[in-house]
Amino acid sequence: YDTRPDTVKNHTDYILYETHIKDLTTHPSWNGPEEMRGTFLGLTISNTTYTKDNITVKTGLDHISELGVNAVHLLPVMDSDTTDETRLDDKEYMKQNGYNWGYMTKNFNSLEGAYSTNPFDGGKKVTEFKELVMAFHEKGIRVVLDVVFNHTYEIEGSHFQIMAPDYFYRKNSDGTYSNGSGTGNETASERYMFRKYMIDSILFWAKEYNISGFRFDLMGLHDVETMNQIREAVNEVDPTIILYGEPWKAADTPLPFEIQAVRENMDKMDFIASFNDVSREALKQFSFGDKKWQISDKVKYALTGASYKFNRGSHHHALYHFEPYRLINYVTAHDNSTLRDEYYRLYGVRDDNKLMRLSKQANAMVLTSQGIPFIQGGTEIMLSKKVPDWVKYSSDNRVDLGLSDNSYNLPEEVNQLDYNDKIKYYNVFDYYRQLIAIRRTFDHLRMANSAEIDYRFIVHEQKENYFTYLIKGHKNGPEMIIIHTGGTNTTYNLNKNYYMLADGDKANVYGLKEANGNLVILPHSTVILIEAKGNVLYDPKAKPINYELMYGLNFDREIQDTPKEHNIGQIISLFAIGTGLILIGLGISFYSKRKRKNK
């Protein structure tokens, strides 16, 4: 049980797929057991399919496995103050209130009961979540958790406030509680005991549940030293555990800027990554066809993994990350519009074929950029967050043209994956799947550090509307050429024989066709070419790669240990901090001396 799939050597090997516990198993087309819809156990069920018009597709867990990603990023699974667990059988209540992203954490080391088949049985919650982790590991997929240490669901009723009033929360100079989270409070990671709590909690999840990574909500509200100490602690468990977060805050904080874990301080943190908001919008704008040098420069930041060599001269952005293992490349995440909806709402694209093309192109650039790619779940089947007429929503949900830009508490029907869309947009799904296979097969696309990028990456041409570049192979390995276009076409002349792996519409890790001479690349395209050498397998008719067979772990479910007692609730985990809390009662002098010493 205490193992992780052997899929990651360097952090840039991760391919992250973000989803919510309920999103993959609540739509009727999932076709799994009714009693397991929207639960931890729902995501353990394999061999579920959906058929329409004589076309059958895989659903749920097998859908993610078929896509080929090696890590699933789960939105918060910790106990939160959102869904009333005593009303799970109340259909009317659950229809409007049964879904929430879970960012108002109540008990950081306990699981959310609404995802269990019995929320009143702590042991069952633990066992079922362990079953989920094992099910993903059996498919060769690691599990990453979203953690929300930057604030609590409230102040007065929180365990922290009851135990040591005002110690765990930051205050402004006028004595009011600071609200850098935008939720009414923010925690004080720089204080010794909260720092210790964060470290202990992360280690608990990493050891007890074999979690392979953690995404820190509003990481900018945490201090650099705490993040570095967490990194040191998880290295003792497994150095391939990934840590990343949002390098920003929701509002001002009294935490000094120079120690905030924001993008400007990324170089102070080692092997901690953050979301690349330099390139996020630029990748979508370039793919759409916007022609500006500032957009092109910001796209290059992602393509080159934030390497100093390729980005030091830019007049359009600062250099923050410096290393690919610090860079999370993405175009959408859960907390805004889906990629399809963004092109529909903000760019005015109404043609379905163009929406598909733009979706392919934007994430093709993500998946061919140096760094760590991150995909919002459902993008591969053109997820759209349409809000039905019967749904009650507020201004917070930012509903426009019938689509939600912030669906955090809207019903399952708004957020779930509909596998009718997988049938309708199967060519988009297959394109994503093949691009993922290409990335996993060829190390050209996941170089480990900037030194390797500086040596192997050669920019042939950068224009406002296209990029062409070459990546050298190792020793006698094949070279790779990649061409990205925006809203216009371009040409490229090949001086030797290549296999075309992607052309903007289709992709195949084993090759689409042979290529040589002069190429014409269509608008909104990513073309990937691999040098035709004897050590490159070329077989356009080969079946897609099954990563489950290559990396999946096997477990004997009959001999699993009984869940350990110490994970039954938050109160126990809080007292596990130990006698250190006594120090608070003795005064802040201990903390102050330690802080001066650390400086």
> Quick one: how far is CA 476 from the chain centroid?
34
Helix ranges, 457-556 (H): 547-551
In the chain, the amino acid numbered 210 is N
CA 536 to chain centre: 31
Per the listing, tokens 């608070």 go with 584
Please spell the DSSP secondary structure of 43-91, one letter per residue.
GG--S-EEEETTEEEE-HHHHHHHHT-SEEEEPP-EEESSS-GGGTT-H
Catalytic-labelled residue, pool 186, 217, 405, 503: 217
d(C-alpha 184, C-alpha 197), whole Å: 21
DSSP state, 169? Answer: B
Cα three-residue angle 146-110-80, rounded to 5 degrees: 65
Closest Cα partner for 317 from 340, 294, 337? 294
Q: Give phi and psi for 491, each to the nearest 5.
A: -125, 160
> Which amino acid, residue 61?
L
What are the CB-based long-range contacts (under 8 Å, 24+) for 552-556? 552/5, 552/137, 552/138, 552/139, 552/140, 553/3, 553/5, 553/134, 553/137, 553/138, 553/140, 554/138, 555/1, 555/134, 555/137, 555/138
Annotated catalytic residue, options 23, 146, 246, 503: 246
C-alpha distances out from residue 401 to 99, 101, 145, 510, Å: 22, 23, 32, 41
Can you name the residues that pair with 403 across neighbouring β-strands?
Answer: 386, 400
Q: Which residue has the tokens 């009333």?
A: 84
Asked if 430 is an active-site residue, the reply is no
Taking the CB of residue 46, how many other CB atoms lie within 10 A of it?
15
| Distance of alpha carbon 230 from alpha carbon 237, whole angstroms | 11
Region label for 22, one of left (φ > 0), alpha (ψ between -120 and 50) or beta (otherwise): alpha
- The percent of the chain in helix, strand and coil, each rounded to the nearest 5, is 35, 20, 45
Q: Is 85 an active-site residue? A: no
Gyration radius (Cα) of the chain, Å? 24
* Burial (CB count within 10 angstroms: exposed 0-12, middle 13-18, buried 19+), residue 236: exposed
Beta bridge partners of 82: none
- Catalytic residue numbers? 217, 246
